[in-house]
Amino acid sequence: VFMPASGSHHTFGMLMVAEFFRMDGWSVWADPQASLKETLTRISEQPFDLIGFSLASEQLVDRARLAIAEVRKRSLNREIGVLVGGPVFAVAPSRARELDADALALDAQDAVRKARALLARSRH
């Protein structure tokens, strides 16, 4: 699952990352128009392995922190991996830890690598 941070209108990067995952063989759900409520419903009904959040603005950090907490609480997969990326982290990589993310990706290829590592770790 890929989604922009709640309130963000910058979705191009997120959609590009989703396409990299598809090319790597992942089954991806990425709907830039989906609300957080819709996404939470979807992850509570299907056991997704990973959710990725894209943050383009520092003003969205608090919303993303709350969204990640809700994802962890509501996910059917209790081991869901949380991957973050976007312009916010290029200038402040430590933000990923503040958001309780499992991994930070700096670009699409890095996101695929980090996701594979998260999936391998959760299966052991």
Confidence of residue 38 (pLDDT cuts 50, 70, 90): very high
More confident residue, 10 or 78: 78
Percentage of residues in the chain with pLDDT exceeding 70?
94
Report the chain's C-alpha Rg in angstroms: 13
pLDDT score for 60: 86
Task: Report the pLDDT value the prediction gives residue 6, as an integer from 0 to 100.
Answer: 66
Token code pair at residue 89: 């982290």
Provide the β-strand partners of residue 84: 53, 104
Q: What is the pLDDT of residues 89-106, one digit of tens each?
A: 988 888 899 999 999 999
Q: Exposure pattern of 84-116 as b/e (b: 16+ CB <10 Å)?
A: bbbebbeeeeebbeebebbbbbeebebbbebbe
